[in-house]
């Protein structure tokens, strides 16, 4: 299996950082190895499923599943 050393969707960005949303949006626009963690950060920063979809074009069904996992972790 794929082991990336993560036990969940650990935050990549501190939401206390005034540039957090800018960084999250920038990271969501480009597919990368850490994109799922930035998606989780986006939901923690209260971006909507539609907002994340508009930046990623990832199917809304998958985004809803990720959002639910993030809410369960909180």
* Domains along the chain with CATH numbers: 20-73 (1.10.1030.10)
pLDDT value at position 59? 98
- Which of 50, 40, 51 shows the shortest CA–CA distance to 15? 40
How much is the pLDDT for 61?
99
Is the separation of the CB atoms in 70 and 9 below 8 Å? yes
Q: Provide the residue-wise pLDDT of the chain in tens; the chain has 74 residues.
A: 456 777 778 899 999 999 999 999 999 999 999 999 999 999 999 999 999 999 999 999 999 999 999 999 88
Prediction pTM value: 0.89
């Amino acid at each position: 299996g794929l082991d990336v050393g993560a036990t969940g969707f650990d935050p990549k960005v501190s939401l206390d950082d005034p540039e957090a949303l800018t960084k999250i949006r920038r990271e969501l626009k480009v597919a990368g190895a850490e994109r799922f963690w930035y998606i989780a950060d986006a939901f923690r920063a209260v971006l909507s499923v539609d907002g994340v979809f508009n930046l990623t074009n990832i199917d809304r069904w998958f985004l809803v599943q990720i959002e639910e996992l993030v809410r369960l972790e909180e």
